[in-house]
Structure 1
Amino acid sequence: MNETNDVYDNPLIGRYASAEMAERWGPLRKFRTWRRLWLALAEAEAELGLLGDDGQPRITPAKLAELRAHLDDIDLKRAAAHEKRLRHDVMAQVHALKDVAPGCGDIVHLGATSCYVTDNADLILMREGLNQLCESLACAIDALATFATTWKDEPTLGFTHFQPAQLTTVGKRATLWLFDFVLDLQELERRRDELPFRGAKGTTGTQASFLALFNGDHDKVRRLDALVAKKMGFDRVFPVTGQTYSRKIDSQILDALNGLAQSAHKWGTDLRLLAHRQEVDEPFEAEQIGSSAMAYKRNPMRAERMCSLARFISGLPAMAADTASTQWFERTLDDSACRRLYIPQAFLATDAVLRIALNVLTQKSEAGRGLVVNKPIIAKNVREYLPYMATENLMMAAVQAGEDRQVVHEIVRQHSHAVTARVKSGEGSPAELFALLKADKSDAFKKVDFGAVTDPKLFVGRSPEQVEEFVGEHVAPIRARYAGVLGKTAELHV
């Protein structure tokens, strides 16, 4: 929350995202990264033997030492004053660096264009952000898998068209949410691991400036590109760029974040529907208030917030797609302002969604920790609809006892329709169907053990086994890859 209360406070910072993700996209991290990029370029040029007009090394150890000593010596106010005068953010930072390290002014940004620092820094920060999101998502997958395993045997109503269908189990339903998240993790990991570095490509991507610096030595220019990337932790570089790297990369990354948002929104919506049915509740703390007017309310605010932020994320890829499709030739600057908004905010919002997901799964509340499964309500709802679902099993049991299949089918048809009519009139309950079948004058079901045939666990198919198989085959490898970070929890700011 903005403590001065006099300027707009972005809720992603003040209310939702983690401090780690917020710091990553802040000005200090950005400009410190720029300086490290300048250092990497200068070091690489020196290592490749860049010479001055006098034939001596142009970049000396003393100049590099001075640059290293001031990587974090950043005066944001001084840099802002430079930018107001120069109307150029990169040159403002060059001047701000020269203010504190005057001896290295002639080796900073040597042969580079602005996108050397801006684009490469964005790629570094996005890769770091993707890694943080992967770790958070792995933690959520781990916690949700534990929930699924815990409740793998608990029968519950399944729904198609939001109408009661066959039974499933609480844990099996959780694997549907899990599978979406597993797919999202695969995509985030792929984007993180395959992300290339822009490298040292020059003003229009031709590397002409570096070729001039190295007196036409193409091999050294190629090596410079790879060496700078290696110094910044990348083993891949874009094979070709204009002044900028292809903005299609931004679009692909935001599409991946949107995929996670879709999964979170689906899960959050299911939780909200289950809360309405009082079958599963999100954590509700002892002093938490559900409504300022209706004191009895226990609104699923976490799931609602997750859906809301996911909806925000889903609106961002369209801007990235527009940017990618409207770049002119080697570059146009109309990408700059919008990228400053949608790239950081996409990461901040996705981070916030995962914080909520972890909080839902791990928050301690008055009812325990994490999601609360209300077994009595679930069992009651199962009992209410089980008579319809059990009719086929009852028919088969009657046939095995010697009854005619068509006769028992007609008996079931007549009684079930009669019960349905009474239910719709408000006078009956589906549970009456069992009593009517038992009491039918034909005695068609007199030899049927209703208790044995109508045990809810007989109607969940392979749900328990599917949970165990899914967790073993698909979650266990994730748990192994992220063993060092699992078990994290997340507190909500508000």
Structure 2
Amino acid sequence: MAYLFSPAMRFHTWRKLWLNLAIAEKELGLNISDDAIKEMEANLFLDVDQFKVAAQEEKKRRHDVMAHVLTFGTVAPAAAGIIHLGATSCYVTDNADLIFMRDGCNLLLDKLAVVIHRLSAFAAQYRALPTLGFTHFQPAQLTTVGKRATLWIQELLWDLQAIERARDDLGFRGVKGTTGTQASFFTLFKGDHEKVKALDKRVTELMGFKYAYPVSSQTYSRKIDIQVIAPLASFGATAHKMATDIRLLAHLKEVEEPFEKDQIGSSAMAYKRNPMRCERVCSLARHLWALQNNTFTTAGTQWFERTLDDSANRRITIPEAFLTTDILLTTLQNITEGLVVYPKLIASRISQELPFMATENIIMAMVDKHNADRQECHEAIRVLSHQAAKVVKDEGGQNDLVERVRKDPYFTPVWPELDSLLDASTFIGRAPEQVDEFIAEWVEPALKPYEKVISGAKAVELHV
């Protein structure tokens, strides 16, 4: 990703755009020599000396595109007079940005598919491990560790679909001229509308796009940037939510991110195991979704056919959005490949809360199987529950509701059934089956186009 947004790739792409413009113009009858095309083809990549020449020219001309037009001409002298023929600066700058965003989406989609795959394996492994659910971060009905992971995966799948859609919707600015009217090319082709249209279409094809935007100003509409950055920012929300959940689980000591053998959590508190990877995800995710606001303000403040106050902003916003998403995915892959689960501690926490949740099962067993009065049973279990809650909250003791039920003669009929009534696996509903069905029906089909990438992906080592 860093290379994609590097100066080397940017200026290489400009040269490729100039080459394909020349090829298309030659095919349509303009006087461009074979030598010009050959020299351009042979010098698409800049060496150190070329970068130095370009820097000197830009310092002199105060114009980056013209500096590179002139620099390209020094190594392709046969083409020096036709490089950038009929074009405006945005021919290379805007079309290049569209190329980078398209290729950047492809890189992100591959990494996102790997993360989804790793997390799906985790969900499948722990599909049936009961764990305490939380609503309002208060104990709620049981779920499973794997089922909870599917909630993260589902959002990641939506992000995968949204980024795919943004990539597939991307068009090419094409060959539109200084204010989008194609006037310069109309002149070059002596008023031949069909050749101007053919030029636009041919360059679009040569650069690997299915279509060019039908109309533009000097620039492509900056709303396109919104449509591309929005799903990245949305992914940031997914990453933040997932990482926050893991941070909270780490506090509960139920699930932890990877922790290296010699890793130090705190310079002062030697026992600490801080969730620094997930904290980093949350930090970068907030930066990512904040970047989206720049795309809104840039799109909304463009004047007529263009202003230049979008340029410096976009040169920061677009690369940062892709680079931030990229490192978030790298970090999430590292986390999902090394999540640590502590089943005994999870079971211990369940044992503290499950007796309260099992009261309804006890009432139903008393009423349905032993003909007890529902209201009397409810009152009896209510009294015992409040006594047990007082022990937990006021005295700091363990939840002894089950022991109280076992000692109360009223509940003698269900004493033999208490263990089965308190079996955690009977409180998780269809969670294991939901995990299986979700992976088979939703995850696997979504990941099918990425099978080769997933099979070749190596585990991430995160150097912190």
Q: Does 1:168 align with 2:138?
A: no
Instruction: State the Cα distance separating 1:149 from its structure 2 match.
Output: 0.5
After superposition, the Cα gap between the structure-2 partners of 1:428 and 1:491, relative to the gap in structure 1 and judged at 3 Å, is closer
Given candidates 363, 370, 377, the residue that maps to 1:408 is: 377
Q: Matched residues in 2 for 1:404 and 1:138: separation?
A: 56
Instruction: State the Cα distance separating 1:444 from its structure 2 match.
Output: 5.2
Given candidates 318, 322, 325, the residue that maps to 1:350 is: 325
Given candidates 340, 346, 358, the residue that maps to 1:378 is: 346
- 1:281·1:300 contact (CA, 8 Å) conserved in 2? yes
Amino acid in structure 2 at the alignment position of 1:131: N
Q: Matched residues in 1 for 2:192 and 2:52: separation?
A: 41
In the alignment, what sits opposite 2:356?
388
- Render the CA deviation track for 1:455-485: whole Å, top value 9, x for unaligned: 0000001100110111011111123110010
Q: Counterpart of 1:156 in 2: which secondary structure?
A: strand
- 1:34·1:118 contact (CA, 8 Å) conserved in 2? yes
Q: Matched residues in 2 for 1:76 and 1:222: separation?
A: 35
After superposition, the Cα gap between the structure-2 partners of 1:118 and 1:453, relative to the gap in structure 1 and judged at 3 Å, is same
In the alignment, what sits opposite 1:265?
240
Name whichever of 61-70 and 181-190 sits farther off. Answer: 61-70
In the alignment, what sits opposite 1:333?
308
In the alignment, what sits opposite 1:62?
35
In the alignment, what sits opposite 1:490?
460
Given candidates 378, 385, 393, the residue that maps to 1:424 is: 393
The runs of 4+ residues in structure 1 deviating greater than 3 Å are 443-448
**Structure 1 unmatched ranges of 5 or more:** 1-20, 51-57, 363-369
Aligned length: 459
After superposition, the Cα gap between the structure-2 partners of 1:427 and 1:292, relative to the gap in structure 1 and judged at 3 Å, is closer
In the alignment, what sits opposite 2:16?
36
**Structure 2 unmatched ranges of 5 or more:** none
Task: Output aligned runs, 1:93-108, within 5 Å.
Answer: 93-108=68-83
After superposition, the Cα gap between the structure-2 partners of 1:445 and 1:409, relative to the gap in structure 1 and judged at 3 Å, is farther
- 1:398·1:444 contact (CA, 8 Å) conserved in 2? no
Given candidates 20, 28, 34, the residue that maps to 1:48 is: 28
Q: Counterpart of 1:23 in 2: which secondary structure?
A: coil
Instruction: State the Cα distance separating 1:448 from its structure 2 match.
Output: 4.9
Q: Matched residues in 1 for 2:414 and 2:438: separation?
A: 41
Given candidates 211, 223, 245, the residue that maps to 1:248 is: 223
- 2:365·2:414 contact (CA, 8 Å) conserved in 1? no
Q: Matched residues in 1 for 2:429 and 2:225: separation?
A: 44
In the alignment, what sits opposite 2:431?
463
Instruction: State the Cα distance separating 1:311 from its structure 2 match.
Output: 0.7
Name whichever of 412-421 and 464-473 sits farther off. Answer: 412-421
Instruction: State the Cα distance separating 1:69 from its structure 2 match.
Output: 1.0
Task: Output aligned runs, 1:63-102, within 5 Å.
Answer: 63-74=36-47, 75-102=50-77
- 1:397·1:448 contact (CA, 8 Å) conserved in 2? no
Q: Matched residues in 1 for 2:237 and 2:339: separation?
A: 20
Task: Output aligned runs, 1:69-468, within 5 Å.
Answer: 69-74=42-47, 75-362=50-337, 370-399=338-367, 400-430=369-399, 432-443=400-411, 445-446=413-414, 448-468=416-436
TM-score, normalization by structure 1: 0.91
- Render the CA deviation track for 1:336-388: whole Å, top value 9, x for unaligned: 001010100110000000000011122xxxxxxx1011111101011111001
Amino acid in structure 2 at the alignment position of 1:334: D
Instruction: State the Cα distance separating 1:493 from its structure 2 match.
Output: 3.9
Q: Matched residues in 1 for 2:259 and 2:7: separation?
A: 37
- 1:152·1:463 contact (CA, 8 Å) conserved in 2? yes
Q: Matched residues in 2 for 1:299 and 1:70: separation?
A: 51
TM-score, normalization by structure 2: 0.97
Q: Counterpart of 1:321 in 2: which secondary structure?
A: helix
Q: Matched residues in 1 for 2:460 and 2:187: separation?
A: 52
Q: Percent identity?
A: 54
Q: Matched residues in 1 for 2:345 and 2:253: separation?
A: 7
Instruction: State the Cα distance separating 1:98 from its structure 2 match.
Output: 1.2
- Render the CA deviation track for 1:4-58: whole Å, top value 9, x for unaligned: xxxxxxxxxxxxxxxxx111111000000000000010001111112xxxxxxx1
Amino acid in structure 1 at the alignment position of 2:278: A
Q: Does 1:23 align with 2:3?
A: yes
Q: Counterpart of 2:453 in 1: which secondary structure?
A: coil
Name whichever of 68-77 and 226-235 sits farther off. Answer: 68-77
After superposition, the Cα gap between the structure-2 partners of 1:283 and 1:427, relative to the gap in structure 1 and judged at 3 Å, is closer
Q: Matched residues in 1 for 2:397 and 2:155: separation?
A: 40
- 1:401·1:448 contact (CA, 8 Å) conserved in 2? no
Instruction: State the Cα distance separating 1:446 from its structure 2 match.
Output: 4.2
Amino acid in structure 1 at the alignment position of 2:349: N
**Structure (1 or 2) with the greater helix fraction:** 2
Amino acid in structure 2 at the alignment position of 1:403: A
Name whichever of 400-409 and 442-451 sits farther off. Answer: 442-451
Q: Counterpart of 2:225 in 1: which secondary structure?
A: helix
Amino acid in structure 2 at the alignment position of 1:210: F
Q: Counterpart of 1:159 in 2: which secondary structure?
A: strand
Q: Counterpart of 2:263 in 1: which secondary structure?
A: coil
Q: Matched residues in 1 for 2:7 and 2:306: separation?
A: 24
After superposition, the Cα gap between the structure-2 partners of 1:329 and 1:131, relative to the gap in structure 1 and judged at 3 Å, is same
Name whichever of 250-259 and 130-139 sits farther off. Answer: 250-259
In the alignment, what sits opposite 1:10?
none
